Amino acid sequence: MSYNADSRGYYGEFGGAFIPEMLYPNCEELRQNYVQVMQEDFFKKEFQQLLKDYVGRPTPLYFAERLSNKYNTKIYLKREDLCHTGAHKVNNTIGQILMAKRLGKNRIIAETGAGQHGVATATVCALMGLECVVYMGEIDIERQAPNVARMKMLGAEVRPAKSGSRTLKDATNEAIRDWINNPVDTHYIIGSVVGPHPYPDMVARFQSVISEEIKWQLKEKEGKENPDYVVACVGGGSNAAGAYYHFLDNPKVGIIAVEAAGKGIDSGESAATSALGKVGIIHGSKTLLMQTTDGQITEPYSISAGLDYPGVGPMHAHLFKSGRGEFISITDVDAMKAGLELSKLEGIIPAIESSHAFAILETRKFESDDVVVINLSGRGDKDLNTYIDYFKL
């Protein structure tokens, strides 16, 4: 079985491009070009150069000794938190801005929830001197004021999404509507492995640098390329897709996906899509999503804004359905505890999204000689206010 997209953008039964005809030319232009452009020497060189000099790659693969001792297994952290702008998101925005330039686009749009992807997009637009409009739910604009300010400093226009529930899914709707209204000069930089084909595959390829580095870094440290497990948190699924990418076809590498249970799977306030979702269509992709029996998309909840998405990328829906991936959901309470623990044991304050991945260590037991790589997708600076409020710091 393949775990990558086929030529029509399907991962098993999931994926595809369920888009209105108004979007067909936009997606088709990308679809026809993305693989070929990404393989051009010039493109590859520019992408790799920017990842090195601007993003700061390769990010370290760090052996977390104190954490390993506590859980009696060998834990490595892939330090995406050390990327410029503070998370893995920039790997994708660098790739897509180069793609947009290559396709002759001069205007960039993006959606953002917590603002991480918005900041990463505004950053590369500043770098390339392109116009940038970021859609953000009205409610998120209030909750994430520092990131709104960062985007403005970087020269982006932040437009409030006022429809529906006024959060990430509605910001995505607004970005898609903008793209319908501006089909020729605009490129839409989606922030995760979601949306219509070719986005999930394109974003996964840009993020795959994460597992590419893990392979040679692990070889240096452990004498073998393949870990026993790769663990990542899943919102839309881009940091996870990047961390799994080069291990997908090797059944000896266990794949663990960690979703946000919010206040608990059965609380009605959760974002654990694999547990609560059913097959349906969201933002142009056939995948698992949280919805009413009538097919209306419901609002998820998590303490971490980056995991607060009612769907999941089609790759992950397929990993879940096929049994290739092990899916675990973690509550707000356990994630916050794990974030504090990583801070105290290793001197690293993680993004709350990433904290979810660490929280599995309490319950998911590993052998003492297992090599477990946890993708530390981002740093906790953006979450300081949440940590402060939560722990009364």
Partner 1 sequence: MTNRISQKLQEDKKLLSIYFTAGYPSLNDTVSVIEGLEKNGVDMIEIGLPFSDPLADGPTIQESSTKALKNGMTTEVLFNQLKDIRKTVSIPLIIMGYFNPMLQYGVEAFCQKCQEIGIDGLIIPDLPVDVYNEEYKSIFEKHGLVNVFLITPQTSDERIRFIDSVSNGFIYMVSSASVTGAKSGFGDEQTQYFDRIAAMELKNPQIVGFGISNKETFIAATEKAKGAIIGSAFIKHLTAFGADKFDTFVNNIR
Ligand X SMILES: Cc1ncc(COP(=O)(O)O)c(C=O)c1O
Helix, strand, coil % (nearest 5) of the chain? Answer: 50, 20, 30
- Report the distance separating Cα 261 and Cα 354, nearest Å: 14
Tell me, yes or no, if 89 is annotated catalytic.
yes
- Record the tokens describing residue 200, joined without a space: 């999930």
Residues 233-262 that bind partner 1 (CB under 8 A): none
The CA distance from 367 to 369, in Å, is 5
CA-to-CA dists, residue 162 to 1, 65, 158, 166, 178, angstroms: 42, 47, 12, 5, 14
Respond yes or no: is residue 392 known to be catalytic.
no
Instruction: Tell me: does residue 384 bind partner 1 (CB under 8 A).
Output: no
> Among residues 50, 204, 209, 233, which is the contact residue for ligand X, using CB under 6 A?
233
Gap between the Cα atoms of 62 and 350, Å rounded: 14
Stretch that binds ligand X, among 26-34, 108-116, 151-159, 217-225 (CB under 6 A): 108-116
How far apart (Å, rounded) are the C-alpha atoms in residues 113 and 90?
15
CB of 210 to ligand X, least distance (A): 10
Residue 326, token pair as written in the block: 């092990």
State both tokens at 224: 């073998």
Catalytic residue, candidates 68, 78, 80, 89: 89
Does 87 bind ligand X (CB under 6 A)? Our answer is yes
Q: Which does 291 bind (CB under 5 to 8 A by kind): ligand X, partner 1, none?
A: partner 1
Task: Measure the CA–CA gap between 260 and 324, rounded to whole angstroms.
Answer: 19
Q: Which x/- pattern over 38-77 shows residues binding ligand X (rule: CB under 6 A)?
A: ----------------------------------------
CA distance 172 to 157: 16
> Is the Cβ of residue 74 or residue 92 nearer to ligand X in the bound state?
92
Is 116 a residue that touches ligand X (CB under 6 A)?
yes
Of the two residues 281 and 340, which places its CB atom closer to partner 1 in the complex?
A: 281
Residue 284 within binding range of partner 1, rule CB under 8 A: yes
Query: Which residue is listed with tokens 């098993």?
Result: 12
Q: Considering only the stretches 24-32, 112-120, 208-216, 281-289, report the one whose residues sit in contact with ligand X under the rule CB under 6 A.
A: 112-120
Question: 93 and 189 in contact (C-beta within 8 Å)?
Answer: yes
Q: How far is CA 188 from CA 148, 178, 192, 339, in A?
A: 19, 9, 12, 33
> How does DSSP assign 58-103, residue by residue?
SPPEEE-HHHHHHHTSEEEEEEGGGSGGGBTHHHHHHHHHHHHHHT
Residue of 80, 111, 259, 353 marked catalytic = 111
Q: How far is the CB of 236 from ligand X (least distance, A)?
A: 4
Q: Which of 15, 306, 310, 339 binds ligand X (CB under 6 A)?
A: 306
Catalytic residues, by residue number, are 89, 111, 377
Q: For binding to ligand X (CB under 6 A), which residues are involved?
A: 87, 89, 113-114, 116-117, 192, 233-240, 306-307, 351, 353-354, 377-378
Q: For binding to partner 1 (CB under 8 A), which residues are involved?
A: 16-22, 24-25, 163-164, 169-170, 173, 176-177, 180-184, 278-284, 291, 293-298
